[in-house]
Structures are given as C-alpha cells and as structure tokens.
Amino acid sequence: MAATETLQEERAAEPLGPAKRDLVVTGMTCASCVMSVESALSSVRGVESADVNLATERASVRYDPAQVDMPALVRAVERAGYGALPVSEDERERGAEEERERELRLSQLAVLRRRLVVSLALGAATMVLAMGELVWPQLMEQAWRPYAMFLLATPVQVWGAAPFYRIAWSAARHRTTNMNTLIVVGTTAAYGFSVVATFLPDLFLRAGLEPHLYYEVAAVIVGLVLLGRYLEARARARTGDAIRALLALGAKTARVRRSGGVEEEIPIDQLAVGDVVIVRPGETVATDGVILAGRSSIDESMMTGESVPVEKGPGDDVAGGTLNGTGTFRFRATKVGKETLLAQIVRMVEEAQASKAPIQRLVDQVAAVFVPVVFVIATITFVVWLFLGPQPSLTYAITAFIAVLIIACPCALGLATPTAIMVGTGRGASRGILIRHAQALEQAQAVRVVAFDKTGTLTVGRPRVTDFLGCADFGDDEILRLAASAERVSEHPLAAAVVEAAQERGLPLTEPSSFDYTPGEGIHAVVEGHDVRVGNLAFVVDHGWQEAPRDVLDRHAGEGKTPLLVAIDGKPGAIMALADVPKSAAAEAVAQLKAMGLRTLLVSGDTQRTAQAVAEQLGIDEAMGQVRPGEKADIVRRLQGEGRVVAMVGDGVNDAPALAQADLGIAMGGGTDVAIASGGIVLVGGDPRGVPRSLRLSRKTLATIKQNLFWAFFYNVALIPLAAGVLYPFTGWLLSPVFAAGAMAISSVTVVTNSLRLRTAKIE
Amino acid sequence: MAELTYKVPAIHCAGCASTISDALEPVEGVEATDIDVGQKTVTVRGSAEDRVIRKVLLASGYPPA
C-alpha cells in the first residue's frame, strides 16, 4: 500500500508539461457554436485553454495529460452537440486522416445539397400556393389549399431543417442558445401557427382572428438558410487551398541509390536520413539534404517566393519540395518526414490559421450575448405589435417576430475573422512569408518603426572582395589566380571570399604544392613554384611590403573593410579589401518601407562608421553602431517607451531577445532556430523585400477583417430595427421574413467571398 | 591527384569506418577513401572539395576535428 502511494506521489511530482493537441470539430455553424465548444472544452478539469476555429473546424487544446485524456475531451465536445475527432500527431497517419476528413466533408456537402434542392423546390411550390391568388383569384377559397401547403411544407420543416433542430436542441440542453435556436424558433412559430390554423381554424375564429397561413415563410426561410450554408461550405473548402497546395509540393516517391550503384524507386515515407537520392531534370526534390555530386539550377520559388532559380552544386543544401531544373544531381538526405523545411512550413501555417486574432475575442464575446439579446428584442417586438399594432395585429406580430429572429443570425460574424486570416496566411506562405500567429497580423499593420539587424539581414552575411589593387606587373587576374589557389585549401571565411572572387572571373585554380597557416595572420603556400603569402600587414611586411601604402589601408579600415595583402616571391602582389556587402534587394526594401511612411533604423554590432556607411548606402534613416548583443532589446524597448510600435528584423541568436521584445519580430528564414522561434513572421528566402511585402499583406488582411465585420454587423444590427418594423409607422414598410432569410444568406456569402479576394491581393 | 586527411574523433570501430566510406563514396570527385580506425583519420583521394567532404562527414554524424 505504502509502495503504491509513493509511486503515485512520484508520478504526480513528475514534471509533466501541458500537452497540446488538435481536434477536428464538426457541426459548427457560427460564432455561438465556437463559444459553446470552447466553453465545453474549457470546463473540463485539467484543460488550460481551448482555441476553436470555425473556418478550419479545429479546436486546439492545451491540457494537463495527468488530469485529462483525449477521449474525455472528445466526450465533452460531443455532449455539447458537436462531433470531434483527435488529429493524429503522426505525419503518415495524418495524410490518410486528411483524406478521410476531405471525404467526410464532400459527403456532408452532398447531403447538404440534397436537403437544399428539395427544400427550395418545396418552398417554391408552397410560395406559389401562397401567392397564387394573383393569377387565380379563386385559389384562396379552395378548401384543399391549406392541406396542400401543409403537405409541401412539412418535409421541409421536419427533414430539411433537421440539422438546425439537432444543434438547437443540444444547445438548449446546455441552457445556451445559438443561431440555430433563432432559426428553429422563428420557423417553428410560423409553421406551428399555420398547422393550428389548418386543422383547428375554430380556435382562431372564436377569438375573432383570421386563421392566416405562414407555411411559405417557414419553408422558404429553411431553403434560403440552407442555400447560405451550402455556398458558405463550398467557399470555406477553398480557403484552405494554400495549405493543400503546399502539401501537394511534396514528392511521392524518391529514386534512391543503394551501395553498389543500384537504383531503386521507393515511397517517400520509407526514405531515411543518410539515403543517397538521385534527382533527374524536372523532378521534385524528395527531401532536405546536401548535394554530393552534380550541378543544377533549382527553383525554390514555392518556398522563398524568389522566382530566379538558384545554382547549386556539391556541398550546397537542397530543400524537399523544390523543383529541379535541367541538371541531374544526387544528394544525401539529412532530414525526412516532419523534420523537413516543407513540413515545418506547413505546420507553422496551420498553427497560424488555427490561432485567434485578438479582434476575434471581442467578436466572440459579442456573439455570446447576441442571441439572448435578439430573443428579448424579438419578444418585445411581438408584444408591441400585438397590443399597439394595426389589425390584424397577430399577423403583424408574428411576421415581425420571425423576421427579427431570422435577420439576427450571427453566422457572418463568426466567419468574418477566421476566413480572412486563413486566406491571408495562405497567401503569405505562397510568397515565402510565414505568419506564425494571427496576433502578428494585427501588430504588423500598426508598425511605425522598422529596426534592422545588419549582418545576414540586410547584408549577405559573409565577406566578399570589394576592392582589388594590383601592384605586380603580371596582371591582376594572374595575381588573383595565384592568391586564390593558395587560399583554396583554407577554411577561413576571408579565404573563401578570395576563392569566390577568382571563380567569378572564371580563373582556373591549381593545387598548392605546400601550404601552412598562421591563425589570425595569414597563409603561406607554394603555387606553381611561386612563393605566395596572403594575410594582414604584419604577416607580409617582411616579404616586400616594407613600404605599405598606409593611406589605402586606413581608407579601407575607415569604411569598415578588412584589408588583405598579397606578396608573391617576396614582392608586393595586391591589396584587397573584403567586406560584407548588402543584399541586392536591400535598398529596394528600405525604399518601399519609406514609401509606406515608416521610419527605418539600423542596429549593428559593427563600428558606428561601418553602420553609418551601410545605412547611407541603403537609405536607412538612422544608424546605431557598436551595439552589444544584449542591447538590441533595450533599444527596441526605448523606442517603445517613446510610444512607437516597433518591428525588429533579424536572423541571429543575438537578435532573438530583440525579436521577442519588439511589437512584431520578423525573422530571416536562413537564420538560427532561436531567431525563428522568436519571430511573429518568418521570411523563408531571406529576401529583405519580404519585410514590406509582409507588412502590406498584414494591412490588407486586417482591412479585409474590418470590412467583413462591417458587413456582418451591418446585416445583423442595421436590419434588426427594420425587421422589427421601426419604419412601419412612418412608411408602412415591414421587412418580410423571406427577405430577412435572403439577406442573411447573402451576408455570409459576401464575407467569405471578400476574404477570398486576398488570394489575389497585390503585395509587391 | 589530391589527398585530403581529416581527424575524426568519433570513429570507434570498423562499423563507423564502413558508414563513413559509404557516405563519402557517392560524393563527386571521391576516388578512394582510406579510414584508419586506430588513428581516427579519414583520407580521401580524388578531386573532391574540402568543403563538401567536411559537410558530408558532419551530416553523417562524424564531424571532422
């Protein structure tokens, strides 16, 4: 007994972190449903937080696995009247699951369409019988008319509206209400009143009332609401296209070279780290890896948004999902499955789409009180019409009551934010802009100051030869060729820059016959019988550089460049200057930001002079040099203290605190994992123009959300007074419940269509 | 023909040696590899670039010293 207790204690003390799992939630139709599912999940013991997204039909739950498990969460959702299915964490299973989910949605869409067609047809027929007196005046007197309308309207009410009843009922059991409650109460009132009037007309006649029929109102409303749902479900299926397009990029098979040179085609999920994969012209690269042999130009636009193919050769990294050009090459797989860049991108986009924008919280809170308030308004409307309205007052009261309930359905409200975020993040992903969470979108449009890290963000991040001053009489090319041949064996970044400069000029390098290296000073090699030294002044001063031109060296130092001197056979060869150069698109990115009215700032660990030089070259407003690693975050904090909304753009570990401190952190994709984890937005390709692009995309997405909310509120709030008959005393005009249903369907479709416009929005 | 030699501390046995030679064999320009388990050295003959060989060694879990 004591032993078990200790065991349990140990188990409780075990630091079990909160788990995070996703659930597919089916059956949600509006913001109220989202609220119900969220509160159902949150009320389970051990659940820390639950984020429910209507557009993706996902619930993202953080919970303590020691207190609650997955089946308990599924049961909680089911008790609230919705369907739930845990999303598997295994990538392979997820493929099959997504397929099942897609099939499920398609079959649901088919069922919805059947309900829609039948309900609309029967509703139209009922309408003909209701209005037919205009063509055939005797119709009203036909004794069979009420029974015929009953026969036509009943299937619509019982079968067509069944989904509304089901959800409204489960909401009622939990003493909550949602938009389905509004539809159910409204149409049931119309239908029920008509049934009584058909079979027991005496009840009305005795009270001195006319037994009016409202079958067509009930049937047509159900038909129109179903139409709205159907169009919305179809449009909603398209908002997730961007993710599906990303997933479709992945290769299905890979051609693997086994030891001994045998080639074998295997399914992608059997690929393992260390496999040698062969890529032929036009094929998709199967997974992430490093090229072993062969050269090709590779189209990485699907990941980076950069349309120019990148030349790659042995030693270069390739990413799965990119498209091979005309060359053939083989590479060693370094990452497979969910570790690959493509899988990480897909995961990030999914998480962003499931995250909730702060603006949506407000919408949810409004939606939670909306339905009860509407009921109160509808009841007041009914009572006022009944006692103060003109004759037949009951008819007017019922008409206005139903119209208010129907027009107020908050379905467009629930779609306004999530659909815009889904389409916006998807659009970003296709241009190499990964939006990590919806908050980043909201913060991005408020940004006024953009602070840039220098190295790796605005510059290429490795030195290049910028100046070359030849001093020997056998030509610059020959000097560079000998120096580069000597440097070839060295691993130093400065040496690599010299080799690159020679290769750019197409100079044939040779192998040095001897080589030695003095750390921090330079190299000494014998190339084709020449004694070659490349290094700093101290290293070559006794080999022909006794009278080095100080002015040249000082000028280079002043510009923040590193001078490298070459001595050949004890005589001066050349003075080279090496510096980290700005990325080709950096100046354009800065110019675009300034055109958008933003202030730009360069924060660098280099000397103030170097920082100033780069800032001037790129057109950046202000430069801050000699910033120690920890100080970048302080600078951001100081700017925020001045009341500015700051975006920080960086790539390194030392940028991470500043990225986290900034209102919006933009991480360069080529950078370190820490930086990427701290960024709200990640630019996959490392193109600085991604900064203005992502800010523009954020502005457009938020503008779309605001337009959507306007349309949703406009329909709901502005039309409620009309439906209640406020205008009647002045103009004699009363909104028909049928038009109310039409307006509601249109508002949902307007909102989704407006969000889909983001797919083609200009962000360049 | 150039010869590049690397000190690879992670080499422990003949198994490591065959893993390394399998990893280097498909690299462009590698004509022969010689792995000395006792000395923990890898010698590569051929025209392969130093940068590529280092990267492949790193990717296969045997970082050169």
User: Buried (b) or exposed (e) across A637-647, using 16+ Cβ within 10 A?
Assistant: eebeeeebbbb
pLDDT digits (tens, 9 = 90+) for A518-555: 777 888 999 988 999 998 888 888 888 888 788 888 88
Nearest to A374 by CA among A181, A188, A162: A181
| Cα–Cα dist A648/A670, whole Å | 16
DSSP string covering A292-352: EEE-EEEE-HHHH---SPEEE-TT-EE-TT-EE-S--EEEEEEE-GGGSHHHHHHHHHHHH
Whether the CA torsion A76, A82, A83, A88 is positive or negative: it is: negative
Which residues of A, range 515-554, sit inside 8 Å of B by Cβ? none
CB A408 within 8 A of CB A419: no
Give the residue from B5, B19, B51 with the most A CB atoms within 10 Å of its CB, the best one to mutate: B51
A62 versus A203: the higher-pLDDT residue is: A62
Q: Quickly state the pLDDT bin for A4 (edges 50, 70, 90).
A: very low
Shortest Cα distance from B17 to chain A (angstroms)? 15
* DSSP helix/strand/coil, A258: coil
> Can you name the residues that pair with A84 across neighbouring β-strands?
A25
User: Buried (b) or exposed (e) across A534-550, using 16+ Cβ within 10 A?
Assistant: bbbbebbeebbbeebee
**In chain A, which residues have their Cβ closer than 8 Å to the Cβ of B23?**
274, 332
A332 vs B: CB within 8 A: yes
Number of inter-chain CB pairs under 8 A, A vs B? 42
Residue A453 catalytic? Answer: yes
User: For residue A434, what are its two tokens?
Assistant: 């990964």
Domains of chain A: 19-87 (3.30.70.100), 105-241+352-421+705-759 (no CATH), 272-335 (2.70.150.10), 432-458+585-695 (3.40.50.1000), 462-582 (3.40.1110.10)
- Under an 8 A CB cutoff, do B26 and A290 touch? no
By C-alpha distance, the chain A residue nearest B5 is A489
Which has the minimum average pLDDT: A178-182, A256-260, A616-620?
A178-182
A326 versus A99: the higher-pLDDT residue is: A326
- A11 pLDDT higher than 50: no
- Under an 8 A CB cutoff, do B49 and A334 touch? no
A119 versus A92: the higher-pLDDT residue is: A119
Shortest Cα distance from A503 to chain B (angstroms)? 14
pLDDT digits (tens, 9 = 90+) for A30-39: 666 777 888 8
- A29 pLDDT higher than 60: yes
Residue-averaged pLDDT of chain A: 82
CB A687 within 8 A of CB A458: no
Domains of chain B: 2-59 (3.30.70.100)
The pLDDT, as a whole number, for residue A155 is: 94
- A15 pLDDT higher than 50: no
- Under an 8 A CB cutoff, do B28 and A292 touch? yes
**In chain B, which residues have their Cβ closer than 8 Å to the Cβ of A259?**
22, 25
Residue of A315, A330, A491 lying closest to B26 (CB–CB): A330
The most confident of A154-163, A461-470, A487-496, A725-734, by mean pLDDT: A154-163
**In chain A, which residues have their Cβ closer than 8 Å to the Cβ of B59?**
289-290, 332, 334
Residue of B23, B29, B48 lying closest to A332 (CB–CB): B23
**In chain A, which residues have their Cβ closer than 8 Å to the Cβ of B50?**
489, 491
Residue of B2, B48, B56 lying closest to A511 (CB–CB): B2
The pLDDT, as a whole number, for residue A8 is: 40
CA distances from B45 to A486, A528, A655, B2, B56 (A): 19, 21, 42, 6, 15
By C-alpha distance, the chain A residue nearest B21 is A259
Q: Quickly state the pLDDT bin for A413 (edges 50, 70, 90).
A: confident
The pLDDT, as a whole number, for residue A600 is: 94
**In chain B, which residues have their Cβ closer than 8 Å to the Cβ of A318?**
none
| Cα–Cα dist A16/B1, whole Å | 58
The pLDDT, as a whole number, for residue A93 is: 61
| Cα–Cα dist A480/A487, whole Å | 10
Q: For chain B, report the end-to-end CA distance as a whole number of angstroms.
A: 23
| Cα–Cα dist A544/A523, whole Å | 16
Helix %, strand %, coil % of chain B (to 5): 30, 30, 40
The pLDDT, as a whole number, for residue A122 is: 93
The pLDDT, as a whole number, for residue A111 is: 87
HSE (CB half, 13 Å, CA atoms) of A441?
A: 36
| Complex-level ipTM | 0.81
A257 vs B: CB within 8 A: yes
Residue of B2, B50, B56 lying closest to A292 (CB–CB): B56
pLDDT digits (tens, 9 = 90+) for A454-474: 877 888 877 888 888 888 777
Cα torsion A463, A468, A471, A474 to 10°: value is 100
CB A186 within 8 A of CB A399: no
**In chain A, which residues have their Cβ closer than 8 Å to the Cβ of B54?**
491
pLDDT digits (tens, 9 = 90+) for A671-699: 566 667 778 888 887 789 999 999 999 99
DSSP state of A284: B
Instruction: Let me know if A740 is exposed, middle or buried by CB neighbors in 10 A (0-12, 13-18, 19+).
Output: buried
CA distances from A330 to A110, A263, A394, A682 (A): 46, 12, 81, 29
HSE (CB half, 13 Å, CA atoms) of A240?
A: 21
Nearest to A585 by CA among A477, A671, A685: A685
The pLDDT, as a whole number, for residue A12 is: 40
Residue of A274, A294, A314 lying closest to B49 (CB–CB): A314
A314 vs B: CB within 8 A: yes
pLDDT digits (tens, 9 = 90+) for A596-611: 999 999 998 777 878 8
CB A284 within 8 A of CB A357: no
- Under an 8 A CB cutoff, do A274 and B23 touch? yes
- A556 pLDDT higher than 90: no
- Catalytic pick from A22, A275, A453, A651? A453
A652 versus A618: the higher-pLDDT residue is: A618
pLDDT digits (tens, 9 = 90+) for B18-34: 888 888 988 988 999 99
Q: Quickly state the pLDDT bin for A619 (edges 50, 70, 90).
A: very high
CB A151 within 8 A of CB A198: no
| Cα–Cα dist A182/A171, whole Å | 12
What would the mean pLDDT of A233-253 be, rounded to a whole number? Answer: 69
Give the residue from A292, A312, A317, A331 with the most B CB atoms within 10 Å of its CB, the best one to mutate: A292
pLDDT digits (tens, 9 = 90+) for A125-138: 988 888 777 777 77
By C-alpha distance, the chain A residue nearest B50 is A489
CB A582 within 8 A of CB A499: no
* DSSP helix/strand/coil, A457: coil
Segment (H or E) for A58: strand A58-63
Residue of B26, B48, B50 lying closest to A489 (CB–CB): B50
What would the mean pLDDT of A330-341 be, rounded to a whole number? Answer: 87
**In chain B, which residues have their Cβ closer than 8 Å to the Cβ of A289?**
59
> Longest C-alpha distance within chain A, in Å?
124
Residue of A259, A274, A314 lying closest to B28 (CB–CB): A314
Interior angle at CA A95, CA A90 and CA A100, nearest 5:
115
Give the residue from B6, B21, B28, B45 with the most A CB atoms within 10 Å of its CB, the best one to mutate: B28
Segment (H or E) for A458: none
Interface of B with A (CB under 8 A): 2, 22-23, 25-29, 48-52, 54-56, 59-60
